[in-house]
Amino acid sequence: MSDHNTKEAGKFMSRALALAREVQGRTSPNPAVGAVFVKDGRIVGEGATEKPGERHAEIVALQAAGSEANGATLYVTLEPCCYQGRTAACTEAIIAAGVADVHFSHEDPDSHVSGRGKAQLAESGIPVVVGEGEDEARRINEGYLMHRTQGRPFVIAKFATSLDGKIAATSGDSRWVSGPETRAWSHELRTRIDAIAVGVSTVLIDDPQLTARLAPSAGSGQAPSAGSGQAQLAEHQPLRIVIDSKGRTPKDASVLGCGTPTLIATTRASPEAWRAEMTQAGARVEVLPDDGAGRVSLPALVKHLGESDVLTLLVEGGGVLHGSFFDEGLVDKVHAVVAPLIVGGDAPSAVVGRGAERMADALRLNDVSVERLGDDFLITGYTSARAIST
């Protein structure tokens, strides 16, 4: 491919990736995919994956292109599916439309596809190019890739700390460590994940709603906040998870309200009457094995969520829960916000748990990026290369 053609292909694949990003978090348990049909150097049809059971990106774009799809080039961020599921096979529609060639970012690891879509297209005489935009495409669907290859959700640990690593004041007061820009970013992040988890101590201390809320108006500079009367719930809401081993969540906790699903993960140590009370309050109660120390087994929880088609899990704390996830080796990605504050004293830390005995044993993140959010800094990294290249 010439330099000119490579640049053109990159431009159109970038558009497909942008379309995929727009629906990230809204297509689960399907991947977020973008597709663009190009003919004579112009886009003749484009689209993104719709809700589960509805059209895949290729079909949305194909129907938008109509007869122009004949002889066109398709740019799509994931290998087209080749089997009949809740929707028909995309490869068959592509072949029937007379598409000239197909470019996709990477193969689909789903056992129903896994290279078969590429093979079917090639066998029908359609040239296939693989690899354009692969890194970004994998990031967009890191939850889907983890789920399809390891049967569990992609776990993201998120916390905001002061410069000296504290997540609250010495009294336990944590509102607010971060600034309004960070809080707005946090709510937007919630619209792109499947589930959000906190420990019961966070529920007892902060009484969070754990919902995704929109700012009053774009560019207003105001951050969503519970009880403000101005913020509104986003269309997509994550499953709210409270990890409560002994049954301490009160029946009037805010996490049980707002009409958004809540899962309470507990053990047999919790009273049956409390479980019935939580169920009556609208929560789904899941009794899981304990870890030998009386706490919910996190590997068992993660396994259960994977079996429930949860692709991404955002862990928001507190420090004990974060420490437990890190100790179990279950964290794949970290969003750490550092605010220009000094708390001092014996205030709570972001990550507790067993920790590392030596600095050589400390977990060092890979592929680290830094972003400014108002006066705060967002540091993002992965715990292993496997997490992003699965």
- DSSP-based helix, strand, coil % in the chain, nearest 5: 30, 20, 50
Give the pLDDT confidence of 253-303 residue by residue, as tens digits.
Answer: 999 988 899 999 999 999 999 999 999 999 999 999 999 999 999 999 999
Q: Is 328 a catalytic residue?
A: no
Neighbouring C-alpha atoms within 13 Å toward the C-beta of 230: 11
Classify residue 362 by its DSSP letter: S
HEC profile of 201-263: HHHHHHCCCCCCEECCCCCCCCCCCCCCCCCEECCCCCEEEEECCCCCCCCCCHHHCCCCCEE
With tokens 């049809």, the residue in question is: 45
Residue 76: closest CA among 122, 153, 9: 9
Model confidence, pTM: 0.90
Q: How far apart are CA 289 and CA 298, in angstroms?
A: 9
Bond into 115 cis (ω within 30): no
C-alpha distances in angstroms, 262 versus 281, 282, 285? 10, 8, 9
The residues with which 349 forms a beta bridge, in sequence order, are: 166
pLDDT, tens digit only, all 390 positions of the chain:
544 466 777 899 999 999 999 999 899 999 999 999 999 999 999 999 999 989 999 999 999 999 999 999 999 999 999 877 767 789 999 999 999 999 999 999 988 888 899 999 999 999 999 999 999 999 999 999 999 999 999 999 999 999 999 998 888 877 889 999 999 999 999 999 999 999 999 999 899 999 998 876 544 445 555 444 457 888 899 999 999 999 999 999 999 988 899 999 999 999 999 999 999 999 999 999 999 999 999 999 999 999 999 999 999 988 999 999 999 999 999 999 999 999 999 888 999 989 888 999 999 999 999 999 999 999 999 998 554 554
Q: Which of 22, 50, 58, 286 is catalytic?
A: 58
